[in-house]
Amino acid sequence: TQLLEQSPQFLSIQEGENLTVYCNSSSVFSSLQWYRQEPGEGPVLLVTVVTGGEVKKLKRLTFQFGDARKDSSLHITAAQPGDTGLYLCAGEVNSGGYQKVTFGTGTKLQVIP
């Protein structure tokens, strides 16, 4: 069973601050995805990283995949209230002929205006 631990579990910061969310596992993944989920909605895909060491940027969000493809981080620069939500990492492996996606424990972010 692939387990993905996210830290911190909760984060409350002021608008304009920077933050980093970590996603760690002992398992190797073929790819890792980051999602954001708002209350009453399903998760929405932000990015997929595939190559060990890969860095992707999405406006103020920077995503990095660890060299060994076991961990990842999400860095947000100058956080805004619209960034508030539950951030989920998800690792993908080929499991018995199908692509199994396992979600992390989640990081709940609150950005205070």
Q: Does 11 bind other proteins (CB under 8 A)?
A: no
Q: Does 48 help bind other proteins (rule: CB under 8 A)?
A: yes
26 CB contacts (<8 Å, ≥6 apart)? 3, 70
Q: Provide, rounded to whole angstroms, the least separation between the CB of residue 16 and other proteins.
A: 25
At closest approach, how far in Å is the CB of 99 from other proteins?
A: 5
Q: Reduced to 3 states, what is the DSSP secondary structure of residue 31?
A: strand
Q: Counting contacts by CB under 8 A, is residue 86 touching other proteins?
A: yes
Rule CB under 8 A: say whether 12 interacts with other proteins: no
74 binds other proteins (CB under 8 A): no
